[in-house]
Chain A
Amino acid sequence: MRWLKLLFYSFLILVIQTVIFPRLNLFGAVPDLVLISVVVFAILEERNRATLFSASLGLVQDLLSVGMFLNTATKVLISIIAGNSREEFAGDPSALAAGLVAIFTPAALLAEALILYLFAHNHFAPGSVFLRIVLTTIYNLILLPIVFPLLQMAASDE
């Protein structure tokens, strides 16, 4: 039942991510529900489960996009670091999630831009990349309070 709920949740966020969010595109910035979910799941769950969850979501996100498997790699990395941070953190999990989303959103976008620049020779205007990073981080922080309880509910045994 728990995995069924998680499967439904994953399916739902991937449909929203590919259909609804592109229509909310603001100067190239699109919220990343998968990143938020990966951070929250890594805080709530044990490392191996979190790694598999992030790898599966990242992989499907990449398969629904085109080109490289950047989401798979970055999401797994984020999951590992978020899981480790949870072990060192004694405060409110939702505060930790907010801090991690605020750090990982720009970090992941910068890493992806760098990889695309170095290996796919894509050229980006620095101003628009900066704007995109700022707006995506704001988008993600706004969505976090909605995603956290939803995923908590999906991941619970009840």
Chain B
Amino acid sequence: MTDYRPFRKNKSYSLAGLIILLALFLSFSAYRDLFGVRPAINTVIYPFQLIARNSWTSMVNFPSGILNLGNLAKENAELKEKLSASQAKVALLENLPSENESLRKTIAFSQSGKYGKKLLPAAVIGGSDTGWFSILQIDKGSSQGVRVGAPVVVEEGLVGRVVEVSSFSAKILLITDPASEVAAVDQTSRDQGVVEGNTSSNLIMKYVSKDGQIEVGDKILTSSLSNIFPAGIMLGTVVSATKKEYDLFYQIQVKPSVPFSKLETVFLVL
């Protein structure tokens, strides 16, 4: 027993070493999608992700539902005391205008033909499972006409672009990801630069010449120099802009206009 233990140990390490080397090789090779395995895995897991997403949404909304029921019961008791049926109707109708307005805005935005193209609404079903990539997964894929590179927007501005598509879902690289680069322009001074993601909550705008006129509070939009994104989509607002004597470029921080942590519906520009 003792005699073959060292051999078994070496064999185990060989297996692990082989897997690690293979993983590193694949990481930097052109075979990252493993000959179609990546989209296939995404397609297989998609229905379960959808179920999990819906269950999670119901679970999160459950306490507020209970809270609303409590409010309704209280309200009902008050109404019984007052014996006024009309007041109950008013209370019930109170939430409808805002809900109506929100739905109207969503429909209007998707039908607006903004950016001169068709906007396809998509629900967010998941996100990056590790902290290093800022990715969202949506419930629209190649079967709905989604293609790699399609810009993704919401009413507040640019969300990112599609980087991977499977039959019924797609992955969006957010503009906050360190790998994201967007050609940008200052709305006021028209200075051009490149907006990059960062692990912090702000974006970084690079390559703006220090001769430029960037001010805190300026709006930053996508530039017409971009081959991927339509021009004029809001990226964010300048929160700090400094230039040192020996620097060639400004150091600019931009607060994104999109509330990334609250995204539930996005629009694909097709």
Contact = CB atoms under 8 A, between A and B. Distances in A.
Q: Do A and B bind each other?
A: yes
Interface of A: 11, 14-23, 25, 28-30, 32, 34, 47-48, 51-52, 55, 58-73, 76-77, 79-80, 109, 112-113, 116, 119-120, 122-125, 127-129, 132, 136
A80 B52 contact: no
Contacts of B42: 63-64
Given A48-B12, A64-B42, A125-B200, A19 B126 contact: yes
Interface string B6-28: 00010111011001100110111
| Complex A-B, nearest 6 residue pairs according to Cβ-Cβ distance, in ascending order | A22-B127, A68-B27, A122-B178, A72-B23, A69-B23, A73-B23
A19 B49 contact: yes
26 contacts: A18-B45, A18-B49, A18-B126, A18-B129, A20-B52, A23-B56, A25-B261, A28-B131, A48-B11, A48-B15, A51-B12, A51-B19, A65-B133, A67-B133, A68-B27, A70-B23, A73-B23, A76-B16, A80-B12, A80-B13, A116-B132, A122-B178, A123-B198, A124-B198, A125-B200, A132-B199
B179 A18 contact: no
B173 A22 contact: no
Given A63-B34, A69-B27, A112-B132, A28 B199 contact: yes
Interface string B40-76: 0110010011001100100000000000000000000
A65 B23 contact: no
A72 B32 CA distance: 13
Interface of B: 9, 11-13, 15-16, 19-20, 23-24, 26-28, 32, 34, 37-38, 41-42, 45, 48-49, 52-53, 56, 125-133, 135-137, 163-164, 171, 173, 178-179, 196, 198-200, 261
Contact of A132 (B23, B41, B131): B131
